[in-house]
Chains A and B, each alone.
Chain A
Amino acid sequence: MRIDRRTLLRLAGVSLLAGAGRKVASALAAVVGSGPSAAPPPARRWAMVIDLPKCLKDESCTKCIAACHRAHNVPLISDPRHEVKWIWKASFEDAFPSQESTLTALTLRGKQVPVFCNHCADPPCVRVCPTQATWKRPDGIVMMDWHRCIGCRYCMVACPYGSRSFNWVDPRPYLAELNPDFPTRTKGVVEKCTLCYERLEKGQLPACVEACTPKAMAFGDLDDPKSEVRRLLEARYSIRRKPELGTQPEIYYLV
Chain B
Amino acid sequence: MRDRNLIVAGLVAFLALLTFPVWYNRAAGTTSRPPELKLPAREKQCVAPVSYMRNSHMQLLIRWREEAVRQDVRTFTAADGRTYRISLTGTCLNCHSKPDFCDRCHNYAAVKPACWDCHLDPGQIQKARGTEYAHR
What residues of chain A have their CB less than 8 Å away from a CB belonging to chain B? 73, 135, 137, 143, 145-147, 178-181, 183-186, 197, 201-202
- Contact in complex: A180, B69 (CB < 8 Å): no
The residue of chain A having its C-beta at the shortest distance from the C-beta of B128 within the complex is: A178
- Contact in complex: B72, A201 (CB < 8 Å): yes
The residue of chain A having its C-beta at the shortest distance from the C-beta of B123 within the complex is: A180
Would you call B65 an interface residue if the criterion is a C-beta within 8 Å of the partner chain's C-beta atoms? yes
Query: Which residues in B have their C-beta under 8 angstroms from that of A73?
Result: 120
- Contact in complex: B122, A180 (CB < 8 Å): yes
Q: Given the known inter-chain contacts A180-B89, A181-B136, please indicate yes or no for A146 contacting B121, CB distance below 8 A.
A: no
- Contact in complex: B133, A180 (CB < 8 Å): yes
Q: Given the known inter-chain contacts A183-B118, A184-B118, please indicate yes or no for A178 contacting B90, CB distance below 8 A.
A: no
What residues of chain B have their CB less than 8 Å away from a CB belonging to chain A? 65, 69-70, 72, 74, 89-90, 114, 117-122, 125-126, 133, 135-136
Query: Which residues in B have their C-beta under 8 angstroms from that of A179?
Result: 120
Query: Which residues in B have their C-beta under 8 angstroms from that of A146?
Result: 118
20 additional contacts (CB under 8 A) given A145-B70, A147-B65: A73-B120, A135-B70, A137-B72, A178-B120, A180-B120, A180-B122, A180-B125, A180-B133, A181-B90, A181-B135, A181-B136, A183-B89, A183-B118, A184-B120, A186-B114, A186-B117, A197-B72, A201-B72, A201-B74, A202-B136
- Contact in complex: B89, A181 (CB < 8 Å): yes
CA distance A183 to B72 in the complex (A): 17
Query: Which residues in A have their C-beta under 8 angstroms from that of B89?
Result: 180-181, 183
Query: Which residues in A have their C-beta under 8 angstroms from that of B126?
Result: 180
CA distance A139 to B84 in the complex (A): 24
